[in-house]
Structure 1
Amino acid sequence: MPVVNYTQYCHMLDNAKQNKFAYPAINISSSETINAALLAFKEANSDGIIQVSTGGAKFASGLGIGSMVKGAIGLAVYTHLMAEEYDVNIALHTDHCHPEYVESFLLPLVEETRKRRAAGQPNLFSSHMYDGSALPMQENIAQSKRIMAACVANELILEIETGVVGGEEDGHDTSGVAAEKLYTTPEDMVLAAREIGSMGRFLLAATFGNVHGVYKPGNVKLKPSILQDGQAAVARALGEDSRLDLVFHGGSGSELQDIHESLQYGVIKMNVDTDTQYAYSRPIVDHVLKNYDGMLKIEGEVGNKKVYDPRSYGKKAERNMADRIMQACDALRSTGTSLGRNI
C-alpha cells in the first residue's frame, strides 16, 4: 500500500496507543535495508515506521554527492515505490535532526513536501524529528514551535525530544552530558504538551535513562516510572485527552520488562538501529570468512563470481535484518496488529 498520509498515520498511532503497543521505527540507509524493513513488517503483519538520519541520508547519496537532502529524497522515493507492493501501512520519518541541520536538512525536506502537495502529489515524508534536547528547554520549545508550524501547514507530524539520550549516534556524542539531563521532568512534559500539543499532533521522545549505542542486556538502567509520572502531570494540568504520544530512543541493552512497562505509559514508537545494523552485517562477515578464497583474486586465480557477486551476500543480509526487525515487532507487541486496508 502507499506510504500513509496524515490521517492514516494518525490512525496508526491511535491503534498503538489504544492497544498499548509500539511500532518499531527502523533506521535505513540503502535500498537493501529498506527492503529488509518492508519484508519484516509484511511477515509480522505489522504496520511500521521507516526512518532516515542525517548521516544515513548523506551516505545514501554516495561519495560523489554527499548530500543529506538528496539522499533522504532518494530513500523516500524508493520507499514510496516499493511500499505499494506490500499489504501493510508504512510511515516515513526523519530521525534526530540537531539544531545545526535544521536549515540544511529538515526544512528543505518540508519544502520538498510543500512543492509536491502543490503539484497534487502525496507528502514525501510522514513525519520529521527535531532534536533540540541539548538546548535550554525554553529555546528548545521555541525552535520546536517554529518547525511545528511548518509541519502543521503541510500535514506532517513533528517529533521532538526533551532531556538527552546518552551515548553516541550518527556522530553526535552526548556522553559528557550531566546525569540529570538524561531524565525528562514532569514539568518538561507538561510544557511540551501545552506549547506544542496546542498546535497539532506531535510525538515526544521523553528520556528516562535511555542510551544510544551497544550494551549487553541489563547494562542500561531505565526508569519507566518517569514516563508514568510525566503523563500523570500532563493529565492533571491539561486533561486526560492531552496524554502524550511517546517515543523510546536508545533501546539497545534494555530489559524486556522495561520495554513492556514503557508501553503502558504511552510509548508508541521505538527506534531500532544498532541491533539491525549488526543483524545486516553479521551474515556478510560469515559469508566472507567461509568464502575467502572465492572472494579474492590472488596468486593468479580468478576467484568465484558466485560468491563475490554482492547479491549472494546481500540477500543473506536482508533476510537476517528482517528477522531481527520481526523480533522487535514481537517485543513491542505490534505483530499481527496491522490495520491493513481498513486504515
Structure 2
Amino acid sequence: MNPQSNPREIIENARRGGYAVGAYNMHNEETTEALLWAAEQADSPVFMQVGRAIIPHMGVTRAFDMTRRIAERSNAKYVIHLDHGSWDEVMEALKLGFSSVMYDGAHLPFEENIATTRKVVEIAHAFGVPVEAELGKIPDAGESVDWEDYYTDVEESRRFVAETGIDYLAISVGIVHGVIPGIPLAPINIQRIREIKAATGIPLVLHGASGLTEREIIEARAAGVHKFNADTDLRHAFRAGLEAVFARGDRQLEEAMAEGRARMVEATIHKMQQYGCAGKAAHAKAA
C-alpha cells in the first residue's frame, strides 16, 4: 500500500527550491489514473484534487474512496486534497482521511470569513492537516470585470493570515476560472503577488492556472506561488483524445477513454515540468 505524502513537506520543499507543485482535478477513474501515471513518469509529487465538478457527481466520500484506491496501488507521491470545500465538506474530508483541505469562506463577509476559517484551522490542525483558504474573487473566463475589485487586498491578507493561522493562501491577481480558446487572458499582476507574500510570509496558491504563459509561471514562482491549481487544460487534453477516436467512426468508449487518458498524462507532465516539480518526488515523505 502506498500512503499519502506529507503536504507540508511537499510545499516547504517547493518553497525552499523555488518551484511549485500542481493540484489537478480528477473526474473519473481514467483521469485519476492519468494524474498518477504522470506523477510517476515525471517523478513529481502531485495534489489529487477533489474539486467542485466531481463532488456533485459522486460526493466527497465516493471521490475520496476512488482516488485512494487507485493511488494506493501506484508508486506516485500524492496528496488527496479537498478544493473549495464548505464547512460540512471539510469536516467530512477530515474524518475520511484527506491529508490537505481548502476551506472556502471567500463569499462570506470578511469578519465572518476570519472567524469561520480560524475554527476550521483549529479543527484541521488537530487532525494534523494543513488548511488552504482564499481571499479575493476569481471570475469565470470571458467575464468583463474591473480587476481592482477582484484582486486580493494586501492589508486584508496580512490580517487574515495572522488571525486565522492558515497554512497557504489562494489569491486573485488576474487569474480566471476556465479558458476560452482564441481569447487571450489578461496578464497576471506579479507585483501584487510579491506584496501579498511580503505581507503574509506564507506560501501562496494560484487557482485557475490553465492558460498562464511560461513566463508568468516562472515569475509567479519567484514571487511566492508554490502551488498551482489547473484543470481546464487537462480536461481539454482528455476531451481531444475522445474526439480523435470518435472522429474515426463508432468506437468502444473504452478505446476513446484510453486515448483521452494518454493525452492527459502528456499534458500533466508538461505542467509538472513548467512548475518545476518534475524530478522532485524523492523529497516527498509519507504523511
TM-score, normalised by the number of residues in structure 1: 0.77
CA separation in 1, counterparts of 2:159 and 2:124? 19
CA separation in 2, counterparts of 1:152 and 1:342? 18
Gaps of 5+ in 1: 62-67, 114-123, 169-173, 235-242, 296-306
**1:180 CA drift (Å):** 2.4
TM-score, normalised by the number of residues in structure 2: 0.91
Q: In 2 relative to 1, CA 312–95 (structure 1 residues): closer, same or farther, beyond 3 Å? A: same
CA separation in 2, counterparts of 1:176 and 1:256? 24
- Work out whether 1:4 is the aligned partner of 2:8: no
Q: In 2 relative to 1, CA 16–229 (structure 1 residues): closer, same or farther, beyond 3 Å? A: same
- Work out whether 1:180 is the aligned partner of 2:151: no
Residue-by-residue CA offset, 1:61-86 (whole Å, 9 max, x unaligned): 2xxxxxx2xxx222222322322333
1:118-129 matches, cutoff 5 A: 124-129=97-102
Aligned to 2:31: 33
Q: In 2 relative to 1, CA 30–48 (structure 1 residues): closer, same or farther, beyond 3 Å? A: same
Could you tell me which amino acid in structure 2 is paired with residue 13 of structure 1? I
Q: Using CA pairs under 8 Å that are at least 6 residues apart, name the structure with larger relative contact order, 1 or 2.
A: 2
Aligned to 2:69: 81
Secondary structure in structure 2 of the residue aligned to 1:339 = helix
Residue-by-residue CA offset, 1:8-60 (whole Å, 9 max, x unaligned): 2211111111011111101112111110000001101101101012331221x
Q: In 2 relative to 1, CA 233–109 (structure 1 residues): closer, same or farther, beyond 3 Å? A: closer
**1:327 CA drift (Å):** 0.7
Could you tell me which amino acid in structure 2 is paired with residue 196 of structure 1? T
**Count, aligned residues:** 285
Q: Is the 8 A contact 1:189 1:231 kept in 2?
A: no
Q: Is the 8 A contact 2:9 2:284 kept in 1?
A: no
CA separation in 1, counterparts of 2:54 and 2:30? 13
CA separation in 2, counterparts of 1:219 and 1:178? 14
Aligned to 2:272: 329
Aligned to 2:167: 202
CA separation in 2, counterparts of 1:277 and 1:139? 35
Q: In 2 relative to 1, CA 254–284 (structure 1 residues): closer, same or farther, beyond 3 Å? A: same
- Work out whether 1:94 is the aligned partner of 2:60: no
Q: Is the 8 A contact 1:162 1:207 kept in 2?
A: yes
Could you tell me which amino acid in structure 1 is paired with residue 213 of structure 2? E
Q: In 2 relative to 1, CA 273–312 (structure 1 residues): closer, same or farther, beyond 3 Å? A: same
Residue-by-residue CA offset, 1:281-316 (whole Å, 9 max, x unaligned): 11111111112xxx2xxxxxxxxxxx32x2211111
The structure with the largest alpha-carbon Rg is 1
Gaps of 5+ in 2: none
Could you tell me which amino acid in structure 2 is paired with residue 143 of structure 1? T
User: Which shows bigger deviation, 247-256 or 273-282?
Assistant: 247-256
Aligned-residue Cα RMSD (Å) equals 2.2
Aligned to 1:121: none
CA separation in 2, counterparts of 1:185 and 1:253? 24
CA separation in 1, counterparts of 2:120 and 2:146? 27
Q: In 2 relative to 1, CA 94–218 (structure 1 residues): closer, same or farther, beyond 3 Å? A: same
